[in-house]
Chains A and B, each alone.
Chain A
Amino acid sequence: MTVKVSKPAINVREELADLKKPTGIAGEAMLRAETPQEQQALIGVGRRNAIINGLAQVSQRGDYTSATSMTVNNYYIDRWKAYSSGGTNTIQHVTSSQPSTLAGSKSIKILSSSGGTIALGASQIIEDYQFFVGKELTISGWMKSNNSNSRFLVSDHVTWNAVGDAHSGSGNWEFITGTITLSSSATGLTLSPRISTSTAGAVSVSANDYIEFTGAQLELGKVATPFEHRSYGEELALCQRYYWRPPSAASFYAYQYQPSYRMAQVRMPVEMRATPTVQYNTNGGSSWQAYNHNNTHIGYYATASNTSASNVYIYDLKCDAEL
């Protein structure tokens, strides 16, 4: 005898939800995720932070731990371009009194010496902006300021928009986060902590007003995940794609390749974004000429006889391929 038994269809997810397991809201969300990509986004794994040197650990160009007179559009701490619409200002690499959750971090402080109706801060241009076009981005970071017009701004290289709330101006560290969708017509992507209006315009700034920031993070999605910590070595390598400065005393000797010429060739530690602008000093030889530069190595040759006993080399090399 054959017995037919029919069972009603069951929804496994609902059944699991009924179990008194301590899944919590995050666990429920994981179970409801449709794809591994959604689950990955929920966990916040992988390379998330598009900002390089977010903790301001790398400063290849020099030591700015004392307040340094700031020139607009110059780079000081790696990857962060100084900005002000006017006045006299300083930039400082601060190494103490960091946010408690970012122990060991450093921060960048930009201060207006003169005051005035100005905008000032720093900005970081993201190279791979195409990846973010039309997508929702979350900005987060720590900010300290005594001016209540301090905020994070994002530019799609058409317009500037504030993201998240402005700093209260209390002079204490405040964690600021906000979400923005990068326009589909974006031609670039820049994050800028600055004292300004919500559209990057000038505001009233008193002498000694400042903005200080660290832990800057720009990531896909609408939730600020914990700061993505990278080792100093990783961060340095990322920075060296845009700027490389070996120790100033490092010498790159020229070899004799013709009876009257010597050539110095230097290979960059990482492939640079573009053929860099180069600054260098020379010792010995004459009529130094650049030869066959590209984004992986540079070469210079000089007139120097093979009977000359002098050392011929270049030193104090600086390669700049910043955006």
Chain B
Amino acid sequence: MFEVQIDTITNEKSGIYCQTHNHWIPLDPANRHYQEVLDAIILEGADCFDGDIPTDLQTAADEKQFNQQLADYRVAVARLAQYIVADGRNQVTESQPTGEQVWNEETEEMEDVMHDVITVTAIDPVEPTVTRMVYSEDDPMAEPTEETIENPLITTDVAERAEAQAVVDATPQPVKDAA
């Protein structure tokens, strides 16, 4: 639980007192405990404060939350932009100027010499399943049996994509607009 400290000489906020840890926290954004106060305001709201949360602290907490959500959103979008491991990736070729130019007699203009450049290399999809040998824990002498499971690369990819999609879905629209 935090409470604002008022300097009775200047009548201005001098810091934040943390009742839980019995320490005085300065109003300095570079101080890690000040950042923890902002985190507590984001997570717990007014419950973490003895009395009302000062407006400037609430504003700082809102700004921190916005920036965190923006950073998380950008990471999630970048993750979703990666190719799906189970599908692989198609090659993408672009026609780009070589830097040379030749004279076109029909148009009577210099024209760029173009060549095809592979901008995205193709990646084959991974095998959908893999087989592994399963050994009996009860009988070490027993013959192992084969077990077919989903390719762990696909499992990981699907889980990470789902996590990234959940972040995107939970991101407020103003944050998305700022991205």
A interface residues, Cβ below 8 angstroms from B: 273-280, 287, 289-293, 301, 318, 320-323
Q: How many A-B residue pairs have CB under 8 A?
A: 56
Can you offer 30 A-B residue contacts whose CB atoms are under 8 A? A274-B31, A275-B28, A276-B26, A277-B25, A277-B26, A277-B32, A277-B34, A279-B23, A279-B24, A280-B24, A287-B8, A289-B5, A289-B6, A289-B7, A290-B5, A290-B7, A290-B15, A290-B24, A291-B7, A291-B9, A291-B14, A293-B14, A293-B15, A293-B24, A318-B23, A320-B33, A321-B30, A321-B31, A322-B32, A323-B32
- Whether B31 and A276, one on each chain, are in contact in the complex, defined by CB atoms closer than 8 angstroms, is yes
Per the 8 Å Cβ criterion, residues 13-58 of B in contact with A are 14-15, 21-26, 28, 30-34
> Please, which residues of chain B bring their CB within 8 A of the CB of A292?
14
Contact-size category for B: 10 to 19
B interface residues, Cβ below 8 angstroms from A: 5-9, 14-15, 21-26, 28, 30-34
Q: Which of A277, A279, A289, A323 has the most CB of B within 10 A?
A: A277
Question: Among B6, B8, B22, B26, which residue has its beta carbon within 8 angstroms of that of A275?
Answer: B26
Q: Which residue of B lies closest to A287 (CB)?
A: B8
Query: A277-B34, A289-B14 provided; 7 other pairs, C-beta below 8 A?
Result: A277-B23, A278-B24, A278-B26, A279-B24, A290-B26, A293-B14, A321-B30
Q: Complex Cα distance A290/B4, Å?
A: 11
- Whether A275 and B7, one on each chain, are in contact in the complex, defined by CB atoms closer than 8 angstroms, is no
- Whether A274 and B30, one on each chain, are in contact in the complex, defined by CB atoms closer than 8 angstroms, is yes
> Please, which residues of chain B bring their CB within 8 A of the CB of A291?
7, 9, 14
> Please, which residues of chain A bring their CB within 8 A of the CB of B15?
290, 293
- Whether B21 and A275, one on each chain, are in contact in the complex, defined by CB atoms closer than 8 angstroms, is no
Q: Complex Cα distance A170/B5, Å?
A: 53
- Across the A-B interface, give the 9 residue pairs with the lowest CB-CB distance, nearest first: A274-B30, A275-B26, A275-B28, A279-B23, A277-B33, A278-B24, A290-B14, A277-B25, A274-B31
Q: Which residue of B lies closest to A261 (CB)?
A: B9
- Whether A277 and B14, one on each chain, are in contact in the complex, defined by CB atoms closer than 8 angstroms, is no
Q: How far is the CB of A271 from chain B (nearest CB, A)?
A: 13
Q: Which residue of A lies closest to B21 (CB)?
A: A279
Q: Complex Cα distance A279/B20, Å?
A: 12
- Whether A275 and B5, one on each chain, are in contact in the complex, defined by CB atoms closer than 8 angstroms, is no
- Whether B22 and A279, one on each chain, are in contact in the complex, defined by CB atoms closer than 8 angstroms, is yes
Q: Complex Cα distance A323/B30, Å?
A: 8
Q: Complex Cα distance A279/B31, Å?
A: 14
> Please, which residues of chain B bring their CB within 8 A of the CB of A290?
5, 7, 14-15, 24, 26
Q: Which residue of A lies closest to B15 (CB)?
A: A290
Q: How far is the CB of B60 from chain A (nearest CB, A)?
A: 15
> Please, which residues of chain A bring their CB within 8 A of the CB of B7?
289-291
- Whether B31 and A277, one on each chain, are in contact in the complex, defined by CB atoms closer than 8 angstroms, is yes
Q: Complex Cα distance A217/B33, Å?
A: 28
Q: How far is the CB of A183 from chain B (nearest CB, A)?
A: 14
Q: Which of B5, B6, B9, B32 has the most CB of A within 10 A?
A: B32
Q: Which residue of B lies closest to A323 (CB)?
A: B32
Q: How far is the CB of A23 from chain B (nearest CB, A)?
A: 46
> Please, which residues of chain B bring their CB within 8 A of the CB of A279?
21-24
Q: Which residue of A lies closest to B27 (CB)?
A: A275
Q: Complex Cα distance A321/B25, Å?
A: 10
- Whether B32 and A278, one on each chain, are in contact in the complex, defined by CB atoms closer than 8 angstroms, is no
